[in-house]
Amino acid sequence: MNGLKKDPDWWRGAVIYQIYPRSYQDSNGDGVGDLLGIVRRLPHVASLGADAIWISPFFTSPMKDFGYDVADYCDVDPLFGSLADFDQVIATAHLLGMKVMIDLVLSHTSDQHPWFKESRASRDNDKADWYVWSDPKPDGTPPNNWLSIFGGPAWQWDARREQYYLHNFLVSQPDLNFHSPAVQQELLGVAKFWLERGVDGFRLDTINFYMHDKELRDNPALPAAERNDQTAPKVNPYNHQRHIYDKNHPQNVEFLRKLRTLMNGYNAAAVGEVGDSQRGLEILGEYTSGADKMQMSYAFEFLSGHEPLSARYFKEVFDKVSAVAADGWACWAYSNHDVVRHISRWDLSAASARLYATLMMCLRGSVCLYQGEELGLPEADITFEDLQDPYGREFWPEFKGRDGCRTPMVWEKDAVYGGFSSAKPWLPVSSAQLNLAVDVAEHDPTALLHHYRRAIAFRRNHNALRDGVMTEVMAEGSLLSFRRINQNEEILCFFNLSDQPVNATVPAGDWVTIAGELGSIRPSPDHTLHLGPWQPSILLLNKG
């Protein structure tokens, strides 16, 4: 039994390790990772010190979007195993002291889901309003200007009903109608099914897409100066709209309250993915404030951009959090299954990779790590011929899709396919990653893997870092500094986010240098810090 089971706040400040099951470990030799493969490798995750795992979708699916198109919410796709295999994941993780969170995709289903098959059959069946249907305009065109994140209009004509249905993602991913009470009740039942099975929480995919504007009003244009690529690639016209009617509906919060009430009975927690490049932090504040909505929101601020994060940018982000989400709780990540791995995205050196890992563990909020991040894996180079991702095929070559971050985990340098499988994997194993395999890292004391273990242990050992407030965030050139404070501890953090030395002055107080194992340095006798390139100094106030 998980030792944290009785603590309803186990999620606060937790380190959550994301597993993309297709690519973690294959146990049956079919070239695709599976649940029993996860069971085999859970000791590795536990050795990092992670509090929980998040498993990307493993439900029954035609795999048009690799599991994010669900055809049965309450069963395991045979590709990944069985419900009994999932029970082994739960039991093993709990035995190792880790929580299990699963990825619930509630905003849409596969077009192969029985609900959609019934809904599209006629306009008057029991599930006729379970999806978002609309008559065409008089000229036969779609009801409004909404766009799909995967390219093109967000509406698809259906000849059976002679109506359009909404799909914010692939054509094969019709959106559920959350304005239907029956839909909400059914989805709460899905959550209860997995809670009863022993899961400790959920990562909620596209949480702000649940509800749409009933009047189907057009989205206004977004001025070019305000566009960015946090939600969709730069080349995607989705970025040309201000998305105020196709998502972020105010009534969405009411469903989240119902879900929170259900989860409270199981001490479960959820992290909601907010996909919005214009109001992401504001929605984070709306969805996680108080004690009646979601516990955490997955923040995108550190998941985009092609330059290493600067001190100024960190300050801007946390100033914005203080302004619009002071009572909320973020879950920070540098990498995940949808973006270029941050080692490549920011072209990090070994020293800068270590510093960013240390910095992450000192931030207010919870943390998500993506499989292989602890090894310093770079983005894999995927040819068009090997590409599986429909998103990449749509926008190739300007956007090469998400497969480069989804290649199989490398466990053993000299084993066939890096120890991932005995058969040809669904995506090629990156030769550039093999020298960073787990077995190599384990025997190299300078490997990033050991630094992640030390940084996570450091966070775990200081409650001010897990749940304390974060104050006095300052940026002076490349120097970022802030304080983390709770009722028992006060910690002062300095980070030199550059390859040039920088000096800083430590304020008055009896400060003790901590985190020496992470490269933290002591101030000189005159209270000056001489920080070398990519060097931290972390100090604890001695309160006597």
| Residues tagged active-site | 205, 273
Phi, psi dihedrals of residue 158, rounded to the nearest 5°? -125, 115
Two tokens, residue 209: 């897409």
Spatial separation of the C-alpha atoms in residues 388 and 408, rounded to whole Å: 13
Spatial separation of the C-alpha atoms in residues 267 and 195, rounded to whole Å: 10
Contact 346, 303 (CB under 8 A): no
Helix (H, G, I), strand (E, B) or coil at 480: strand
* Residue 388 identity: Q
**Cα torsion angle, 141, 145, 146, 149, sign:** positive
**Cα torsion angle, 308, 380, 334, 372, sign:** negative
Spatial separation of the C-alpha atoms in residues 56 and 32, rounded to whole Å: 14
Spatial separation of the C-alpha atoms in residues 149 and 196, rounded to whole Å: 34
Helix (H, G, I), strand (E, B) or coil at 196: helix
Q: Note the maximum CA span of the chain.
A: 80
Q: Is the peptide bond before 397 cis (omega within 30 degrees of 0)?
A: yes
Burial pattern 205-240, b for ≥16 Cβ within 10 A else e, equals: bbbbbbbbbeebeebeebeeeebebbbbbeebebbe
Q: CB count, 10 Å around CB of 516?
A: 10
Spatial separation of the C-alpha atoms in residues 359 and 31, rounded to whole Å: 36
DSSP notation for 435-453: GG-HHHHHT-TTSHHHHHH
Q: CB count, 10 Å around CB of 362?
A: 22
Helix, strand, coil content of the chain in percent (nearest 5): 30, 20, 50
Beta bridge partners of 491: 484, 540
Contact 44, 412 (CB under 8 A): no
Of 363, 263, 298, give the one whose Cα is nearest residue 18: 298
Two tokens, residue 169: 């993602």
CA 152 and chain centroid, separation: 25
Two tokens, residue 120: 């599209």
- Helices (DSSP H) in 290-371: which residue ranges? 311-324, 342-345, 350-360
What's the distance, Cα to Cα, between the start and end of the chain in Å? 38
Beta bridge partners of 60: 72
